[in-house]
Amino acid sequence: MWYFEDAENGYINIRNKWKQSEYIHIEYGSPAVGEIEAGWFSAQWKRFKF
């Protein structure tokens, strides 16, 4: 299970509920799950309404 937490400038981070140090990121190109460093833009996502 994942939940959204506020990041910078209106973006969000997607964090794992059970492994709280793991986030979804694209630091190495493809989507991956793992620990991130503060300020990684590759772990920041924008929510859009359709």
Domain map (residue ranges) of the chain: 2-43
Mean pLDDT within 10-17: 96
Q: Which residues are paired to 23 by β-bridges?
A: 15, 34
Q: Are 7 and 44 in contact (CB under 8 A)?
A: yes
Q: Which residue has the tokens 């924008």?
A: 46
Interval 17-43: pLDDT, tens:
999 999 999 999 999 999 999 889 999
Query: pLDDT-derived band of residue 50, with 50, 70 and 90 as boundaries?
Result: confident
How does strand 2-6 pair with strand 23-25? unpaired
Q: pLDDT at position 8, please?
A: 85
Q: pLDDT at position 35, please?
A: 96
